[in-house]
Amino acid sequence: MKNFMKTTRLFLTVMTLFAADTNAGTQDRLAEYRRQIDSLDQRIVELFQQRARLVEEVGTIKREAHLPVTVPSREEQVVERAQELAKSGPLPPEAVGRIYQKLVEEMRNWEAKLDAEAPHSSSQPAAANKEAP
């Protein structure tokens, strides 16, 4: 009986150490994946800001040409293209579409805010002086 108790204690000690080692390995793996996610998040935010700078330029061009901020057909095109690009990945295209709908909405709202804050010219639109393609 004494031998059985020693064997049982030894077995439980080994199992506890094995579980602790496995948990440490799991935590290390999780930490590495989280570092990679954090790095991707940084790149995504940098790309959002780069996109915003381009939206700002597009807004300036629209304002100078007296064009509306919102162009629903263009917004639909952007979302549809994102969904098409997403077909090769694990995240469903519909989910990517919803993310892009929100992105486009936020960019549109920001562009409208910039438009409202910008000084407006009273001159004729440049597009009015040119023939349509």
User: Along the chain (133 residues), what's the average pLDDT of each consecutive run of 10 residues?
Assistant: 76 68 85 97 98 96 94 96 97 98 96 88 45 34
Within-domain flag for 63: no
Are both 41 and 2 inside the same structural domain? yes
Within-domain flag for 129: no
Q: Output the pLDDT for position 37.
A: 97
Cα distance between the two ends of the chain: 97
Are both 1 and 37 inside the same structural domain? yes
Q: Output the pLDDT for position 111.
A: 93
User: What is the distance between the alpha carbons of residues 15 and 26, in angstroms, rounded to a whole number?
Assistant: 16
Within-domain flag for 36: yes
Domain extent, residue 28, equals 1-47
Within-domain flag for 53: no
Within-domain flag for 127: no
Burial of 111 (0-12, 13-18, 19+ CB in 10 A): buried
Within-domain flag for 42: yes
CB proximity list for 61: less than 8 A, separation 6 or greater? 67
Q: Are 75 and 104 in contact (CB under 8 A)?
A: yes
DSSP letter, residue 120 = P
Are both 41 and 78 inside the same structural domain? no
Within-domain flag for 58: no
Are both 73 and 103 inside the same structural domain? yes
Name which of 132, 124, 130 is nearest 64 in CA terms.
124
Q: Output the pLDDT for position 125.
A: 45
Q: Whole-model pTM above 0.85?
A: no
The number of folded domains in the chain is: 2
Within-domain flag for 123: no
